[in-house]
Structure 1
Amino acid sequence: YQNKDIAESRRKLALEIEQKIQKGYPKAYGLIIDIIQLLEDNYDVNLFENQCIKYYEEAQKLKTIKSKQKRIDYINDLIKEAEINPKIDEKFVNFWKNKVKEIQ
């Protein structure tokens, strides 16, 4: 129950703060909403790219073909997921498709 109560009180506090900003600083409120939207829109792309970078860097350090191939497979799996995600632009997918070819 305690975690639920804490979460509920945080939600209530966030709502109160949001209303104060909206009333007192309408321009700032609009800007905050735009920033949040931008972060949400870019979240999937950032996550995809960060994971790809991690596996790409690991693959470059590894010496054995088998361990390298494992990382390449991980990136290819991420690419497949990204291709069907409408929030991830095709240019990011294509960039990583080309990067994978560099490793092999």
Structure 2
Amino acid sequence: MAQVAALHLVDQDGPVRVTALAASLGLSASAGSRLADGLVQRGLLAREEDPEDRRAKTLALTPLGRRFVDRASVERVRVIMETARSMPEEIPAAILSAVSAFRRD
């Protein structure tokens, strides 16, 4: 689950350093590094030179990682829509209203 969350964070935030990714996921730097290593080995993330600090590396989605995130997002929307269809009509409407109010604040 942490790997999927990491991919979504990199998608959302753009290229990130391993330490920032680990902090966002509540992991230690070494655990974040191991997680990133696994995603790099699977071809889902790529290490790139940080343009602000050539000694540091950032993580970015590869084309394979992009396809994974896109498919996962479509699947998540499908599950949400199926769940919403099985609820009484007023519940999804209340959820959308609450989310809209939250986004305005």
TM-score, structure 1 normalization: 0.34
Which structure has more helix as a fraction of its residues? 1
Name which one, 1 or 2, has greater alpha-carbon Rg. 1
Which structure has more strand as a fraction of its residues? 2
TM-score, structure 2 normalization: 0.34
